[in-house]
Structure 1
Amino acid sequence: MNSKEKFQQQIVDGYATKKDFIVLGTGILEKEPIKGASIKVPLKTLNRHGLIAGATGTGKTKTLQVIAEQLSLKDIPSVLMDLKGDLSGLAQAGSINDHITWRSDMIGVEYTPLGLPVELLTLSQEKGARLKATVTEFGPILMSQILELNNTQRGIMAMVFCYCDVKKLPLLDLKDLKKVLQYIINEGKEEIKEEYGTVSSASVNTIMRKIIELEQQGAEQFFGEVSFDVDDLVKVQDGKGVISIIRLTDIQSRPKLFSTFMLSLLTEIYETFPELGDQDKPKLCLFIDEAHLVFDNASDELVEKIEAIVKLIRSKGVGVYFCTQSPTDIPESVLGQLGLKVQHSLRAFTAKDRKGIQKAAQNYPISEFYDTEEVLTAMGIGEALVTALSEKGMPTPLSHTLMRAPVSRMDILTESEIKDLVDRSQLVLKYNQNIDRESAYEILGRKISHSEEKAKEVGETAQQASRKSNLKKEEESFFEEISKNTMVRQIGRTIFRELTRSIMGTLSGKKR
């Protein structure tokens, strides 16, 4: 058995599956695709998460597109976080050419151009159904983690949520949260002190500044109503899983908002979806593009939260896939949870790049057919190193793979196509409503206004009483002064008369 036959047999044995699967491509040995060496990933293992990595322009976005397509064709919905704006083409059929025909023939699959059911979602003013969540739905723990609060500040946040629950103050958006924080250190200071103890104004002011920082990244557009129902992400249309594309092109420079949304979505899915155990296929798959934005500025505690959810969410039938340039962009604690790894080519322009490639190569199984470090820098566009999990949960052999081409359009939709897609969306009708019902901001605003009016009335009454008192004192002083002056004048006149009388009397006596 020569090396090609041995390689083919290893791939056939390693990627054998008795149940349903998706085909990603075919194995490559000595720079030649090997027919019959299909890279099959069992649907059963797709809730074990994955990684799609590679330098810019090596084809990782197309790989993401291929996996989402194949999932949809197996009636599995998916959510794609699109930060570059190049995934909308999934809604339209692709086009065929000689290269795609050759590639499909080598892989052993039939190429049929096809558009897939797509929903466009947005966190901002992009076209699509708006994703929102209320502050109450976040809860004090998640809100504290996002704001990176210390233990004292976390206690205050927990007290705020408790106070609002007791007083029936809805926390819908960030202005509600800020209003409550302002209230507890000003007008409601005595009330809070009596019920919960003294609250540090300095700690509250720090929390306020952190909320303002979050607002500056556009979070006020995310918090509010109508809250998005995650069950709307698991729709099937005409026998195909709906692909929900979250358009995030305008928040690349706002990583705080991106990580806030991503963590809240994972948390909501985990808390909402029922336990499913081992299923023949996942219920939903999430693809997080430019995943380094999630982790670059994340605190250790936030990373621990993501790691915990990634570990547990697969029992809900959900797979999470991180797309980034290098495996080193993902914390090792999270990377160790990822079953499927698709590694496109990396570039080595500097000594630091070469060290990064050495480190990246260590994340993949050792192969007797490849020098992993060498292959990592030598692969062409549309090629990748692939390792997955078999049906038994064991890592499959590492394979240099010729990836299959997307059946949908490998370009973006036009503005008119996007408009048509949005106009037909039922989710847009459901969620694109401007609702600002009475909440903590308005209720406390009225309470503060009432207190201010009452204080004003008390102040005016006190001023009137003070003025009357002063007037009375002035009158008394005036009459007292007059009396005093009259008495002085009277005494003066008496003394003058007596003196005059004495003098006159003396003069009169001498005259006589």
Structure 2
Amino acid sequence: MGDDGVLIGFSDKPEALRLDRANRHGLVAGATGTGKTVTLQILAQGLSDAGVPVFCADVKGDLSGISQVGAPSEKMLARAQGMNLELHNAAAPVVFWDLFGEQGHPIRATISEMGPLLIARMLELNEVQEGVLSVVFRAADDEGLLLLDLKDLQAALAYAADHATDLSGRYGKVSPATLATIQRKLLVLEDQGGANLFGEPALQLSDLMRADGSGRGYVNVLAADRLVASPRLYATFLLWLMSELFEELPEVGDPEKPRLAFFFDEAHLLFRDAPPALLQKVEQVVRLIRSKGVGIYFITQNPADIPDTVLGQLGNRIQHALRAYTPADQRGLRAAAQSFRPNPAFDTAEAIQGLGVGEALVSVLDEKGAPTVVARTLVRPPASRLGPALPVERAQVMAQSPVRGLYDTPKDRESAYEMLQARARREDAPEPELDRPAPRVEPRPAPRGAPSSAPRAAPRASNRQGMGEAFAKSMLRTIGNQIGREIIRGVLGGMRRRR
């Protein structure tokens, strides 16, 4: 659409997302198969063309087609013609990421960066277990133990179990049984592939905020088709990424266009069974991160999946069709309809149910920051491919990636695991005996008949007596004893006679 906005489609006029309001967040909702992924693709590529980097999760694998030039079908061409729209097929610059390192560059965080709150959420810990985990983090920090990967956390938990009494005196009650429970849940996380998330080199946020040589923002596509099978791992990772953006980026107010657009697909997974502390964290991030120049867009089936405290901050809304088969569906439908600024031309609730594939109700923020009247909109065709990229095409994109080689090889520097192992070896080593004499080394005798190359040392005097010497000493002792006895008798006899 130009430099002012991203064209979404047409009602009785063009409907576009304004760039200077794109950091006010948004919502894309609708039942399965109604066109949410296509809308996400249009928004992502439109923002990229405007120079805005994008991060999005590819839950079904279809979004990877944004990296390939589109090949419109006759139906798509007819739709574009009906809009008086000329299609310019093009691919967006893309960086593929994958937690498991299979369909993209590995993406990692350290245990310390993730923190005890998010790890407790990932492990589904209760309040007591979360408190004990926080003690382990605090103790590791006080002991100078780096927590980088999963084996570091496992080693820190084992250390805490061995020193539970000492830790209880310093930080509060630490139960070995609770520590054992956390260790078992870590094993479950490891079986789900969680070990791939933690380690180094950790993701640098600047690598998500790149532009190509022509000024287009890179679209960072996270392969999430396997990751979403572990919902807690998926949701916690994306929440961590949002939190890191919030904590590290400087304040910029309301920029002319966002510094980054963040699309959170299957957003209901973030809020399902979330404890109050986590919901407060999400609400805080969503409320304040817009001043960092980041726009967050939640993609879900029903707006009712999003808590009201968060939903109220999503100014740009695109609603695809909803079906109301159950009472809960009907309540969600009414809530979705009531969230729009009414249009006197139609009933919003009835329109939501009657939308076809590729149609949506659109309400975006205007130049004053107020939501526009909801409009029934025909979503435009994308410029890139509809459908997934082939493995060979994905490999070609990765070969030209600006982060190629930066994250592909893991690093394992000295951290808590290695430090605690070294400490244990020092404690188990025997103490040296200081007064113990050095062993005497006897000279090896030379072979018989071999010439000696060094002067022979004088024979050392022996303490052992020979047989003749022993006999002579025995005779002298006998004679001496007899003479002594005779002298004594003579002296004593003379004394008796004098008496």
Q: Normalising by the residue count of structure 2, what TM-score does the alignment of the two structures yield?
A: 0.81
Match of 1:176 among 152, 171, 194: 152
In the alignment, the residues of structure 2 paired with residue 386 and residue 71 of structure 1 have an alpha-carbon distance, to the nearest angstrom, of: 17
Structure 2 residue 263 is the aligned partner of structure 1 residue 287: yes
Structure 2 residue 102 is the aligned partner of structure 1 residue 126: yes
In the alignment, the residues of structure 2 paired with residue 269 and residue 113 of structure 1 have an alpha-carbon distance, to the nearest angstrom, of: 32
Deviates further, 378-387 or 360-369 = 360-369
- Given residue 443 of structure 1, which amino acid in structure 2 is its aligned partner? M
Contact 1:76 1:283 in 2 (8 A): yes
Question: What are the superposed Cα offsets for residues 325-358 of structure 1, whole Å, 9 maximum, x if unpaired?
Answer: 1111112221111011101111234454334323
1:201 CA displacement: 2.0
1:192 CA displacement: 3.7
Q: Please show how residues 103-502 of structure 1 align to structure 2 within 5 Å.
A: 103-147=79-123, 149=125, 152-186=128-162, 188-189=163-164, 192=167, 196=171, 199-237=174-212, 238-454=214-430
Larger Rg: 2
1:128 CA displacement: 1.0
1:376 CA displacement: 1.1
1:218 CA displacement: 2.0
Contact 2:199 2:410 in 1 (8 A): no
Contact 2:23 2:254 in 1 (8 A): no
- Given residue 8 of structure 2, which amino acid in structure 1 is its aligned partner? L
1:451 CA displacement: 3.1
Contact 1:214 1:256 in 2 (8 A): no
In the alignment, the residues of structure 1 paired with residue 301 and residue 164 of structure 2 have an alpha-carbon distance, to the nearest angstrom, of: 51
Gaps of 5+ in 1: 1-16, 28-33, 459-512
Q: Secondary structure at the match of 2:241?
A: helix
Distance 1:97 1:207, change over 3 A: closer
Contact 2:27 2:297 in 1 (8 A): yes
- Given residue 70 of structure 1, which amino acid in structure 2 is its aligned partner? G
Q: Please show how residues 13-24 of structure 1 align to structure 2 within 5 Å.
A: 20-24=4-8
Gaps of 5+ in 2: 434-499
Distance 1:293 1:155, change over 3 A: closer
- Given residue 6 of structure 2, which amino acid in structure 1 is its aligned partner? I
1:215 CA displacement: 2.8
- Given residue 7 of structure 2, which amino acid in structure 1 is its aligned partner? V
In the alignment, the residues of structure 2 paired with residue 197 and residue 47 of structure 1 have an alpha-carbon distance, to the nearest angstrom, of: 43
Contact 1:38 1:107 in 2 (8 A): no
In the alignment, the residues of structure 2 paired with residue 151 and residue 235 of structure 1 have an alpha-carbon distance, to the nearest angstrom, of: 40
Structure 1 or 2: larger helix share?
Answer: 1
Contact 2:122 2:233 in 1 (8 A): no
Contact 1:127 1:422 in 2 (8 A): no
Distance 1:201 1:445, change over 3 A: same
- Given residue 198 of structure 2, which amino acid in structure 1 is its aligned partner? F
1:141 CA displacement: 4.2
Distance 1:162 1:241, change over 3 A: same
Distance 1:268 1:167, change over 3 A: same
Q: Secondary structure at the match of 2:404?
A: helix
Contact 2:165 2:174 in 1 (8 A): no
Q: Secondary structure at the match of 1:116?
A: coil
Q: Secondary structure at the match of 2:28?
A: strand
- Given residue 62 of structure 2, which amino acid in structure 1 is its aligned partner? D
Contact 1:145 1:301 in 2 (8 A): no
- Given residue 156 of structure 1, which amino acid in structure 2 is its aligned partner? V
In the alignment, the residues of structure 2 paired with residue 89 and residue 377 of structure 1 have an alpha-carbon distance, to the nearest angstrom, of: 29
Match of 1:91 among 67, 86, 100: 67
In the alignment, the residues of structure 1 paired with residue 426 and residue 241 of structure 2 have an alpha-carbon distance, to the nearest angstrom, of: 39
Question: What are the superposed Cα offsets for residues 21-41 of structure 1, whole Å, 9 maximum, x if unpaired?
Answer: 2221111xxxxxx3xx11122
1:370 CA displacement: 1.1
Contact 2:205 2:245 in 1 (8 A): yes
Deviates further, 96-105 or 62-71 = 96-105
Q: Secondary structure at the match of 1:309?
A: helix
Contact 1:234 1:283 in 2 (8 A): yes
Question: What are the superposed Cα offsets for residues 267-302 of structure 1, whole Å, 9 maximum, x if unpaired?
Answer: 111111111101111110011111122222422322
Distance 1:91 1:194, change over 3 A: same
Q: Normalising by the residue count of structure 1, what TM-score does the alignment of the two structures yield?
A: 0.79
In the alignment, the residues of structure 2 paired with residue 215 and residue 291 of structure 1 have an alpha-carbon distance, to the nearest angstrom, of: 24
In the alignment, the residues of structure 2 paired with residue 210 and residue 273 of structure 1 have an alpha-carbon distance, to the nearest angstrom, of: 33
In the alignment, the residues of structure 1 paired with residue 353 and residue 172 of structure 2 have an alpha-carbon distance, to the nearest angstrom, of: 62
**Matched residues, number:** 432
In the alignment, the residues of structure 1 paired with residue 74 and residue 302 of structure 2 have an alpha-carbon distance, to the nearest angstrom, of: 32
Contact 2:121 2:236 in 1 (8 A): no
Deviates further, 81-90 or 145-154 = 145-154
Q: CA RMSD in A?
A: 2.4
Distance 1:382 1:288, change over 3 A: same
Question: What are the superposed Cα offsets for residues 425-449 of structure 1, whole Å, 9 maximum, x if unpaired?
Answer: 2323100112222221122123234
In the alignment, the residues of structure 2 paired with residue 371 and residue 454 of structure 1 have an alpha-carbon distance, to the nearest angstrom, of: 84
